[in-house]
Structure 1
Amino acid sequence: MDFIWETMNNKPKVLLVYTQRMVKGRTFEMIENLGTLTLAAQLNAHGFAAKAYTAIATDVMKTIEKMKDCLFAVCFYCDFDNQSAVAAISKHLKEKHAFYVVLGGPQTLHMTDKDLETYQADAILKGEGEETLLEWLSAKAQGREVVVQGEIRPDQNANYVYLEDFSKYELPKNKDVLNYEERPLLAVSTARGCPYRCAFCFEGGNSKNLRMRPVEDVLKEIEARLKDSHRPRYLFFTDDTFTTDPVRMKKLLSGLKALRKKHDFVWFCEGHPGFLVKHPEMIREMMDSGMVRMQIGMESGVEAVLRAYGKQAKPEDIKKVVEICYREGLPQLTGNYIIGGAFETEETLETTTEAVMELLNMAPGMLDISTTFIMPLPGTQIYNQPERFDIVLEDREYITSIEDFPVNHTKGLSLAEICMGRSRFITKVSNKMKEQFKKGLIPKARIQDDFKLALRYGIAGGYFKFIYAKNQQLFHYYSKLIAYKGLLKEWHELNEEEQKSWIIQRIQNIFELDSKALSQTELDILMYSGRFTVKEIAEKLNLSSENMKNLLVKMSYQHLILFSAYI
């Protein structure tokens, strides 16, 4: 290849890209791709100028076009979701530009030399690329030809490269993100691989044994990135295996607890319900070190289905974890249900729906329930033997969907019936959440916690997004309460003396309120607010202390007023 970058004195510029098809605002854009970020750090420590970039396909093309004249290489992270987008972009770039195009990522595990034609890339490197990508690019920069471990060659396959000792590689850095802008979320990985073998999971179906990073390295990375931060952060532990080793966990939790004395952050992780029911005390320890949101595998309310998936957990385990988390005061617990999965019928959907309704009744205000369709990920049991699960794969390569439509059906349900089943499920969950809020079943402390997490750390759970944030009065109420922490209080927080001597503060301009929904006395209280104490307003309106108290309790419940010690 003939390639001349801007000047021979400049470091070769490399863009490491993670992209998906054209749907703006999908989750992948919110969560940093630690694979590309880690590779960028490794390249930058060895003579390259590398940046990691995550965006939808159209934005990726625009960015590459702007940078084309100074790029040495563009490297794509390829997974099951984005394979068609990467193939199209890769072929286009090789037709139009002189820089190198390299392919890596988990999807390469199932690639062969035939994919050299499909993607038209200069190289497809199978496996974890901290060493192989650096070796390949270094050789090209020096004008040498090289064949690296894991590289697919014509008429040759290659083994996937797994690494063991992560401590010798550079830690990911915020500054290595292209056009870095600080956001609340900060992704962290503590391990690679998975010891579980869930039938639908790529990691469990394909990965080598679990390989854990030293706790010291994880904490060192977190502290370094927090030092670069200028705002509160939300740590997002991305690995599925956070709750695998209780001894290691305790060491990590202790380190996180110490870091929180110096930095303002909270965190999320995935937890295994089978582990948590055996170690219920860990939930409290996790919360004490900053955990505010956790995800557990729920998948189905049918025990036989969970057993078929190889979940190593029962519906009773899930119920127990929900019970413990709610009792301990965990702000948010999230879980995902697969609709149209193994052995799905109208009856299993109904059983799952009933199970979720029971969980919501157990924990009003805490659960954040989501749904998904089966993704036939290569190497998984469902991909290899779908008939074992009564599943018929209509689109094995998942080309026709971007997680918005099923690509399989079961013997009991058609594609359309699976879509309708998901719609009914979501509607029932949504209606139950709205009913809980309307009936006042959600504790005020939980609502306030959700607002704190959303406004301070950018963590918007289901109740916040779909109920609280849509209630203008509620939003104003908690926004003010949190913004003026300690200066404003709710009625139930006041002692007997304060309930007489504190100043009433209205939440919104009185002209923005629906006056028809308020009595004249309530309107008068709002008119006097901000200037007089509770006792003074009661005297002006000739109200007994008991009548005044009843009115203020009602108006507080309606989120119309707060209280301050001073004007």
Structure 2
Amino acid sequence: MYDLLIVNVHRQYDALPYLAGDWLGIYQLSAFLEENGYPAKAFAGYAHEADDLLENEIDSGVKIIGFSCDYENQQEVIQLCRKVKDQWGLPVIVGGPQAVALGEDFLIKSCADAIVRGEGELAALELMHFFIDRTGKIEDILGITFLKDGICVNNPDQPLIKNLDSLPFPKPHHNIGTWFRRNSAAFITGRGCPFNCSFCYEGGNMRGVRWRSIENVMTELKEVLDSRPDIKYVLFTDDTFTLNHRRLRSFVEALSDYRKKRDFGWFAEAHVMTLLRHPELVSEMVEAGLLTLQIGVESGNDSVLKAYNKKISTKDIEDAVILCKNSGVPHVVANIIVGGALETEKTIKESISFGKSIIEAGAGMMELHAINFWPLPGTAMTKRPHDFGIEILDPDSLTSTTDYPVVRCDTLEPEHLCEYRLRMEGKFKKKMEVTASQLSFDRALMHFQMAYKYNSPTQWYYILNKIDRYRMYCSLYINGAIRKYEQIPEKDRPLWRPIRTCPPNIKNGFNYAGDIEVDSEQFSVLLSGTGKMTILEASEYCKLSMEKFIEIALTLESFMAMGFCRY
């Protein structure tokens, strides 16, 4: 038996698995309440799983139900709150990112007893005292919104938790379900964001940057990874991971030291200007196991970036992409917003052109997507849309699951924005596909290693995996089935065997190694590459000198059409 069940559910819109297991807030809150005498558990999953979940857990004696509410699941939360109140009459509290925008209308529709705004630990603890122990007054609990005699009351905000090291770590027993740390493990190393971007939830609602000590984060990281050898990918999900360069350097050193004992790769978010001010840190992060870096791009127009309060230019973004490429970052991911501040046909076309240019500059690394603008609660753009040239037509997002625009910009209606976003996404993907066929072995290998070794496939991986020579060469290389010619001891080379890593094709009378056109001699060497002949035997079969055969074989190897095996 336990006191509080925290539920974070969304409707299922896609056949693909829903990766909700590392939404850390609900698990961190469970750990905090348990440490303070109120056992709690959390569930993240699909809305259609909620009925059975609630019946099972409430029948087992849980005393309070909490729901996490965000921009996308408001209607589900309203329905489930009413279900709990109507069927069981238990106290219901609601928190999560959307809570800052919820008020009287939500409380009436949901019948929830209280809304917890912002950081939830302290307010939730006081609500446990009030509902379970019958101590204190709800009117005295900071950071909550509730109805009193039909009037909506917004109590003042709770003070922020200054010492994040004082918070307990989430444990597996705080989870109900199968998603928590299923294939990866996420960690928050700090709270707050200083940047105040006009479209961003964190910028509009998070107060005061606070960090956990590196020792505290590493203790939790080691505890999780040492107990879960199957987890190879870690996500540091806080917005300010790279903000303090001195802290970042110490963090990178700690990660490097631990990776000597335990191999894993990791994801982090970074501000463009932090990277440019301390460029040496980028290669240090790579050495420490960085696999994916997410940066803020948002637009290819400088006036739009200024309206977003990004404090960067398109030149800064381009310089950061080039820096990451030269520093060996395997993967950088970013978004461009369609239908945001000052958006016109002209700014959209500029964003398309700019996006294609940074994909080319970061060939094999830069993954770029087009997303709709979302009017997130508490942001400057949601509070003052007309200042940014937009009109919010559907503030409750009743017509969208973030897949369709809910705003009008300039002369652009939602249907126009929808078409432009799809066009932009398609052009970005096409640019990646064209660029992919020219990638080097080292760059392509990074993406196959991320997928095979660290269970973190990228869009580059999915594109490359459709090209025979990349898929076969990198797969065989990772598995140890083939080696590059230069890796073979010189004295043993004649006895190693050429093996092709793409099919020999003939189209309209032309010879091809997979998708690459080759001449007759190259095609002959390709045909000999079955692994059934040594290099010496294959050169004789092709009626070529050993030197000429190796020269051609190395040409095929250069575009990953041929490798070499021992047996």
Instruction: Sort the Cα spacing of 1:22 and 1:199 in 2 relative to 1 into closer, same or farther, 3 A.
Output: same
Provide the C-alpha distance between the structure 1 equivalents of 2:8 and 2:535, rounded to a whole number of angstroms. Answer: 58
Deviates more, 1:94-103 or 1:378-387: 94-103
Deviates more, 1:382-391 or 1:354-363: 354-363
| CA contact 1:376–1:397 (8 Å) conserved in 2 | no
Provide the C-alpha distance between the structure 1 equivalents of 2:476 and 2:51, rounded to a whole number of angstroms. Answer: 43
Where structure 2 has 5 or more consecutive residues not aligned to the other structure, the ranges are 514-519
Q: 1:108 aligns with which of 73, 90, 99?
A: 99
Task: For 2:166, give the aligned amino acid.
Answer: K
Aligned to 2:43: 53
- 1:187 is displaced (CA, Å) by 1.0
Deviates more, 1:452-461 or 1:123-132: 123-132
Task: For 1:230, give the aligned amino acid.
Answer: P
Instruction: Sort the Cα spacing of 1:431 and 1:180 in 2 relative to 1 into closer, same or farther, 3 A.
Output: closer
Instruction: Sort the Cα spacing of 1:522 and 1:30 in 2 relative to 1 into closer, same or farther, 3 A.
Output: farther
Aligned to 1:361: 360
- 1:205 is displaced (CA, Å) by 1.2
Aligned to 1:8: none
Provide the C-alpha distance between the structure 2 equivalents of 1:244 and 1:366, rounded to a whole number of angstroms. Answer: 22
- 1:404 is displaced (CA, Å) by 0.3
Percent identity of equivalent pairs: 29
Aligned to 1:79: 70
- 1:321 is displaced (CA, Å) by 0.6
| CA contact 2:300–2:351 (8 Å) conserved in 1 | yes
Provide the C-alpha distance between the structure 1 equivalents of 2:115 and 2:549, rounded to a whole number of angstroms. Answer: 74
Paired residues, number = 546
Aligned to 2:454: 457
Cα displacement string for residues 399-421 of structure 1 (whole angstroms, at most 9, x for unaligned residues): 32111000002113221221121
Aligned to 1:535: 536
Aligned positions of 1:29-428 closer than 5 A: 29-30=19-20, 32-72=22-62, 73-142=64-133, 146-147=137-138, 148-153=141-146, 154=148, 155=151, 156-161=153-158, 162-180=160-178, 182-428=181-427
Task: For 1:173, give the aligned amino acid.
Answer: K
- 1:25 is displaced (CA, Å) by 6.2
SS in 1 for 2:397: coil
- After TM superposition, the score normalised by the length of structure 1 is 0.89
Instruction: Sort the Cα spacing of 1:230 and 1:146 in 2 relative to 1 into closer, same or farther, 3 A.
Output: farther
Aligned to 1:23: 13
| CA contact 2:497–2:529 (8 Å) conserved in 1 | no
Cα displacement string for residues 458-499 of structure 1 (whole angstroms, at most 9, x for unaligned residues): 22222112x122335532332221122xx6313454465454
Task: For 1:129, give the aligned amino acid.
Answer: G
Provide the C-alpha distance between the structure 1 equivalents of 2:447 and 2:285, rounded to a whole number of angstroms. Answer: 18
Task: For 1:165, give the aligned amino acid.
Answer: N
Provide the C-alpha distance between the structure 2 equivalents of 1:347 and 1:31, rounded to a whole number of angstroms. Answer: 40
Where structure 1 has 5 or more consecutive residues not aligned to the other structure, the ranges are 1-10
- 1:43 is displaced (CA, Å) by 2.8
| CA contact 1:241–1:271 (8 Å) conserved in 2 | yes
Instruction: Sort the Cα spacing of 1:426 and 1:180 in 2 relative to 1 into closer, same or farther, 3 A.
Output: closer
Provide the C-alpha distance between the structure 2 equivalents of 1:269 and 1:31, rounded to a whole number of angstroms. Answer: 18
Instruction: Give yes or no for the alignment of 1:482 onto 2:485.
Output: no
Cα displacement string for residues 147-197 of structure 1 (whole angstroms, at most 9, x for unaligned residues): 233333323222232322222221122443224465332111112121111
| CA contact 1:19–1:54 (8 Å) conserved in 2 | yes
- After TM superposition, the score normalised by the length of structure 2 is 0.89
Task: For 2:280, give the aligned amino acid.
Answer: E
| CA contact 2:525–2:549 (8 Å) conserved in 1 | no
| CA contact 2:129–2:136 (8 Å) conserved in 1 | no
Provide the C-alpha distance between the structure 2 equivalents of 1:54 and 1:492, rounded to a whole number of angstroms. Answer: 50
Instruction: Give yes or no for the alignment of 1:445 onto 2:425.
Output: no
| CA contact 2:526–2:562 (8 Å) conserved in 1 | no
- 1:76 is displaced (CA, Å) by 1.1
Deviates more, 1:399-408 or 1:471-480: 471-480
Instruction: Sort the Cα spacing of 1:494 and 1:260 in 2 relative to 1 into closer, same or farther, 3 A.
Output: same
Instruction: Sort the Cα spacing of 1:450 and 1:377 in 2 relative to 1 into closer, same or farther, 3 A.
Output: same
Aligned to 2:498: 504
Deviates more, 1:150-159 or 1:194-203: 150-159
Provide the C-alpha distance between the structure 2 equivalents of 1:304 and 1:100, rounded to a whole number of angstroms. Answer: 48
SS in 2 for 1:334: strand
- 1:111 is displaced (CA, Å) by 2.7
